Amino acid sequence: MIQPNSPSNRLPMHPLRSAAGLDRWAAEGVGSPATRDLLVVGAGLAGSAAAIRAAAHGVRVTWVDAASFPRDKVCGCCLNLSALGALAEIGCATIAHDLVTDDLRAWQLTAAGRTIDAKLPGGIAVSRAKLDWALIEQARSRGLQLRTKVQAKVLDVRGTGVDVRLSDESADRRFDAVIWATGLSGGGVSRWLPWVVAPHGPLGVAVLVDDLPGVPERTIRMVCADDGYVGLVRVEDGQVDVAAALRRDAGAGDGEAGGDPKSRLLARVNAILATARLGPLSEHCAERLMTTPPLRRARQCGHGGLLAVGDAAGYVEPFTGEGMAWAIRSGIAAADCVAETDRESDLGRLWCREHARQLRSRQWLCRALSQALASPGGSRWLFRAMALAPWAVRGAVRRLNRV
Ligand SMILES: Cc1cc2nc3c(=O)[nH]c(=O)nc-3n(C[C@H](O)[C@H](O)[C@H](O)COP(=O)(O)OP(=O)(O)OC[C@H]3O[C@@H](n4cnc5c(N)ncnc54)[C@H](O)[C@@H]3O)c2cc1C
């Protein structure tokens, strides 16, 4: 029986967490002997990191995703130094830099008629179609097979296992553990992993465009207004990724744009860009606009052998551009948890504690900003404070990039 907060419950240092262990794994391609049958659902960054790490531990991994790859998704596409450090932990340090050689150098935010600049200590911008595919390829080179276009459904979590239906198999299966890395859209597990904070807050919207004048190379450009904020960055091929978080209770520009919901969203993005004299994006972009459900959420992230990671466990806000780092780190930590916990232990409870320990210190700043961003008045106050104290902004940028 696990005793809360007992030092003996903390996960021991695994050889793969030490530099020597990682070197040995990279050299020999082996981890500890297979102990568990694990299903990883999702091949975004959280799922890929979990699958790669678990396989390195010697765990038997079945890995599925409902999508076919490469696929794009709503994202600001900026990998900060923390995310790059997390990729290095699974021996994938070079994959991002193989796709794009130039580091990000600057961060520029325009709000309430003022512009704040900060230097970035590093990081890169790469499209999610390329990045997620590169990680899947990396996994493949280590002998892991991803089964695409396969929908997973959790049927029951009982005893020491999880019953699952995979859409490409005729019989239901039982796994010792399931890592649920299904992002913002994967549902069907609330019976075992109830919401602690039900989805609410802004919607995510994104589109890749060939060009947008006013977006410099190697710079994250952000524009904030009462209706939400937009992030702009040039990715590996010079295209501009436009990603926005739009308030759900607002609707600037709806009137001019007519009835189509995507055209209305595009009009709102254009209205925000116009406050910084950028854009507009052409009406054709509406067809390619990708959207998300409400972003802010948190669920109990473990129950029995079912562990939620990445956005499936919870998400705060894209303002600080940390989601990919959180996703990769939680995927790695969940795989460690599965490999290092004996069958008699309560894996779900251990994971809840480990997940909270991992993310508490990394998410507090984003949570605090998210409170201010929740209302137009709070956002205005925040941006005014940022303009008055640019040194604090630069300090925060450094902190967010800590490895
Ligand atoms: C507007 C916006 C901007 C952002 N900008 C940044 C940024 O600049 N930097 C940053 O670090 N983060 C950013 N993020 C956050 C980042 O995109 C996410 O945190 C990260 O992609 C989460 O990865 P994931 O692996 O958890 O989920 P995903 O990448 O969403 O992967 C989930 C996968 O699960 C699959 N799936 C779902 N359900 C099932 C099922 N039942 N069976 C099988 N497969 C299933 C899906 O097909 C999908 O491929 C941003 C987010 C938003 C909304």
Ligand 1 midpoint to CA 132 (Å):
10
Task: Out of 34-38, 297-301, 339-343, give the one with best mean pLDDT.
Answer: 297-301
Q: What is the mean pLDDT of residues 145-165?
A: 95
Q: Say whether pLDDT at 255 is over 60.
A: no
Cβ of residue 166 lying under 6 Å from some atom of ligand 1: no
Q: What is the mean pLDDT of residues 190-205?
A: 96
Band of residue 251 on the pLDDT scale cut at 50, 70, 90: low
Between 117 and 5, the more confident residue is 117
Cβ of residue 51 lying under 6 Å from some atom of ligand 1: no
Cβ of residue 327 lying under 6 Å from some atom of ligand 1: yes
How far, in Å, CA of 62 to CA of 296, rounded? 30
Which pLDDT belongs to residue 381?
86
Q: What is the mean pLDDT of residues 331-359?
A: 92
How far, in Å, CA of 245 to CA of 315, rounded? 13
Q: Say whether pLDDT at 31 is over 70.
A: no
Burial of 242 (0-12, 13-18, 19+ CB in 10 A): buried
Q: Cα 135–91–340 angle (5° rounding)? A: 100
Which residue has tokens 């947008």? 212
For the record, the structure tokens of 259 come out as: 């009835």
Which pLDDT belongs to residue 345?
87
Helical ranges in 285-344 per DSSP H = 285-288, 323-340
Q: For all residues of the chain together, what is the average pLDDT?
A: 88
**H-run or E-run covering 385:** helix 376-388
Which domains are delineated in the chain? 13-100+123-199+295-400 (3.50.50.60)
Which residue has tokens 């490895």? 403
How far, in Å, CA of 211 to CA of 232, rounded? 11
110 φ, ψ to 5°? -110, 125
Which pLDDT belongs to residue 393?
84
Pocket perturbation via mutation, ligand 1, pick of 311, 329, 365, 373 by most ligand atoms within 8 A of CB:
311
Pairing mode, strands 173-175 and 78-79: unpaired
One-letter amino acid identity for 14? Answer: H
Cβ of residue 65 lying under 6 Å from some atom of ligand 1: yes
Of 32-41, 307-316, 361-370, least confident by mean pLDDT is 32-41
Cβ of residue 40 lying under 6 Å from some atom of ligand 1: no
Ligand 1 midpoint to CA 268 (Å):
23
Q: What is the mean pLDDT of residues 176-186?
A: 96
Ligand 1 midpoint to CA 18 (Å):
28
Q: pTM of this prediction? A: 0.91
Between 138 and 187, the more confident residue is 138
How far, in Å, CA of 262 to CA of 268, rounded? 10
Of 31-35, 40-44, 79-83, least confident by mean pLDDT is 31-35
Which pLDDT belongs to residue 15?
46
Band of residue 358 on the pLDDT scale cut at 50, 70, 90: confident
Pairing mode, strands 78-79 and 106-111: unpaired
Cβ of residue 67 lying under 6 Å from some atom of ligand 1: yes
Cβ of residue 331 lying under 6 Å from some atom of ligand 1: no
How far, in Å, CA of 170 to CA of 42, rounded? 20
How would you list the strands of the sheet with 302-303, edge to edge?
Answer: 146-147, 60-64, 37-41, 177-180, 306-308, 302-303
**H-run or E-run covering 40:** strand 37-41
Between 104 and 4, the more confident residue is 104
Which pLDDT belongs to residue 380?
85
Cβ of residue 202 lying under 6 Å from some atom of ligand 1: no
Band of residue 35 on the pLDDT scale cut at 50, 70, 90: low
Query: Atom 20 of ligand 1 has which residue's CA nearest to it?
Result: 324
Band of residue 146 on the pLDDT scale cut at 50, 70, 90: very high
For 61-110, the pLDDT digits (tens) are: 999 999 999 999 999 999 999 999 999 999 999 998 899 989 999 999 99
Q: What is the mean pLDDT of residues 279-304?
A: 96
Ligand 1 midpoint to CA 355 (Å):
18
For 199-227, the pLDDT digits (tens) are: 999 999 999 999 999 999 999 999 999 89
Q: What is the DSSP string of 13-25?
A: PPGGGSHHHHHHH
Q: Say whether pLDDT at 18 is over 90.
A: no
Which runs of E-coded beta strand occur in 78-131? 78-79, 106-111, 114-119, 124-125
| Residues β-bridged to residue 222 | 109, 231
Over the range 212-227, which residues count as b (16 or more CB within 10 Å of their CB) and which as e? beebeebbbbbbbbbb
Pocket perturbation via mutation, ligand 1, pick of 77, 87, 155, 182 by most ligand atoms within 8 A of CB:
182
Query: Atom 51 of ligand 1 has which residue's CA nearest to it?
Result: 75
Q: Cα 372–376–382 angle (5° rounding)? A: 40
For 382-398, the pLDDT digits (tens) are: 888 888 888 888 888 87
For the record, the structure tokens of 160 come out as: 């020491």
How far, in Å, CA of 132 to CA of 136, rounded? 6
Q: What is the mean pLDDT of residues 142-166?
A: 96
Atom of ligand 1 nearest to the CA of 245: 1
